[in-house]
Amino acid sequence: MDERLSGAVLAAGHGQRLRDATGGIPKPLVDIGGRPLLLRQIEILGQIGVSPIHVIINSETYNLMLGRELRLPGDVELLIGDTANSMESLLRLGERIAPGRFLMMTVDAVLFAADIGRFVAKATKLIAKPGSRLDGALGVVQWRGDAGPLFVHIGADRVIDRFGEPRTRTVTAGVYLLSTGVFTHATEARSRGLNAMRRFLAMLVDRGFRFAAVEITRAIDVDTAADLTEAREMIVRGPE
């Protein structure tokens, strides 16, 4: 990777839909591939060369990490916040991320480091292309029928036109390469009462921000017990 990027992991949610399958363990600490989801995301970002890595978790997760003596790498800047929603988690991190571009992952997006590396390389190339006027790129994947995805509507130029219904074949994959310029609209988003990152992204597109859609072959958003089983099986199979 030619350009040094900051990293970010959104991990402050409670993951209620997954709790029955994990014995009440919060999603960031759910084991997959032999380590907690949170550590897996941090390690992947580190493998790609991202530093520092900004992480937001809630107080429940933090207290459990203390009890388990779970340590994070030295270049991780940890923020503990019981935020109301994913948008507020992102905006809180935005107050700490240095100006420039940052690579962000949601804690429940299970991907392979090689696929994320290819995403960064392609996204960086698209952003640098003369005349692109891109503010970032989102990893997208073919919808596999899971509930509650964020559908992506993509124009002929592979730039995202809008998000949400009606359904398309493509959904977000949980990995984003963004400019910190997105945070210039934080005050507006809060004043409008937006309550999810997906609504914040939709507002940005309405405001003229341009995000490229970059296809990723394999990604599983872990929200349910079935998702967790599928993700663990994917990890066992390994990269293709």
182: Cβ contacts below 8 Å, ≥ 6 apart: 94, 135, 136, 200, 204, 209
pLDDT digits (tens, 9 = 90+) for 44-75: 999 999 999 999 999 999 999 999 999 999 99
Domain spans of the chain? 6-237
Q: Which of 63, 64, 39, 65 is nearest to 53 (CA)?
A: 39
**CATH pick for 6-237 out of 3.90.550.10, 2.60.40.10, 2.60.40.1180, 3.40.50.300:** 3.90.550.10
pLDDT digits (tens, 9 = 90+) for 116-135: 999 999 999 999 999 889 99
Query: Cα–Cα distances in Å, from 192 out to 31, 99, 185, 186, 196?
Result: 37, 25, 11, 10, 12
How many angstroms separate the CA atoms of 87 and 61, rounded?
A: 19
Q: Tell me what pLDDT residue 2 has.
A: 47
Question: How would residue 3 be classed by pLDDT, with cut points 50, 70 and 90?
Answer: low
Q: Which of 34, 38, 30 is nearest to 56 (CA)?
A: 38
- Mean pLDDT over the full length of the chain: 94
Whats the size of the chain, residue-wise? 240
Q: What is the residue whose two structure tokens read 């998702």?
A: 227
How many angstroms separate the CA atoms of 110 and 172, rounded?
A: 12
- Alpha carbon 161 to chain centroid, angstroms: 20
- With residues binned 3-state (H G I as helix, E B as strand, rest as coil), the percentages for the chain, rounded to 5, are 40, 25, 35
Q: CB-hemisphere CA count at 13 Å for 186?
A: 15
